[in-house]
Amino acid sequence: MASGNNDHKSGIIADTAYRQYEKRLSKEVANYPAPKHVAIIMDGNRRFAKELGLGASEGHKEGRNKLEELLNWVMEAGVKILTVYAFSSENQTRNEEEIDELMKLFEESFYKAAEDERVHKHHVRIRALGMIDILPENVREAITYAEEKTKDYDSYYLNLAVAYSGREEIIQAIRNIATQVKDGKITPAEIDEDMFSKYLYTKEFPDPDLILRTSGEVRVSNFLLWQLAYSELYFVDVYWPGFRKIDFLRAIRSYQQRSRRYGK
């Protein structure tokens, strides 16, 4: 009985310490400008589930729940644009059962996001980035619904990279520019970085200030290859569903402590 009481007390002390640390981090972060655009590679859903003896679909559901939680943290920190890597084009090689579950989850998530009261209260515009035309019709319909419901909002932006490939994005941009040149609408001399950026999925947004990846992997995995040229990179050794608010705040603090010279 005494052991149970001690465990309970230890848990209370740990929770209190965590909350105090979170408050301190929040205050530190609030003292400096927040990054305008944060991009996140949400990695580790399946490994998180495996360690708990759960199936991959359960891990993906926990990952979706974490993204919903993250939206609160982002707005509290003053970050205006959030871009998350939800599903790469390479992910389509996974087993059929897992892909089917993911597509159902995407459909559900876009409809849910479109009805989220926070989205409408804070005027969050939802966008899907990627090769949307290769997704199942039910997922495309859900994406259209969410985008239409939020198309007039401009206070915050939530971009979900779905069926996304950084290399394919660049190739598509090259093809479109080549067509414009062939049709005589632009000349090769007019092509520069600014013009090229206007042919990318992210043409409406500034490049990410901070790119964060979970799960302990230290690579960008074909994500925003053009856009990350001068982004600050941050890697955290925790699976995405286990990502905590203090992990997010530490990433923001790390960004704020860096000197961004853009190659100068």
Closest CA to 262 of 206, 192, 199: 206
Q: Are residues 27 and 39 in the same domain?
A: no
Number of structural domains (the chain) is: 2
Task: With a cut of 90, say whether residue 255 has pLDDT above it.
Answer: yes
Task: With a cut of 70, say whether residue 264 has pLDDT above it.
Answer: no
Q: Are residues 123 and 10 in the same domain?
A: no
Average the pLDDT over 171-195 and give the result. Answer: 97
Is the separation of the CB atoms in 220 and 211 below 8 Å? yes
Closest CA to 63 of 109, 98, 131, 19: 109
Is the separation of the CB atoms in 146 and 113 below 8 Å? yes
Residues of the chain above pLDDT 70, percent: 94
Task: With a cut of 70, say whether residue 67 has pLDDT above it.
Answer: yes
Amino acid at 60: H
The CA-based dihedral angle spanning residues 69, 161, 246, 30, taken in that order and rounded to the nearest 10 degrees: -90
Q: Are residues 125 and 228 in the same domain?
A: yes
Residues of the domain holding 26:
1-31
Task: With a cut of 80, say whether residue 11 has pLDDT above it.
Answer: no
264 within domain boundaries = no
CA 119 remoteness from chain centre:
16
Would you name the residues annotated as active-site residues? 43, 91
Residue 202 maps to which CATH number? 3.40.1180.10
pLDDT digits (tens, 9 = 90+) for 70-116: 999 999 999 999 999 999 988 877 888 889 999 999 999 999 999 99
Average the pLDDT over 61-68 and give the result. Answer: 96
**Pairing between β-strand 156-164 and β-strand 81-88 as defined by DSSP bridges:** parallel
Is the separation of the CB atoms in 75 and 121 below 8 Å? no
Is the separation of the CB atoms in 35 and 210 below 8 Å? yes
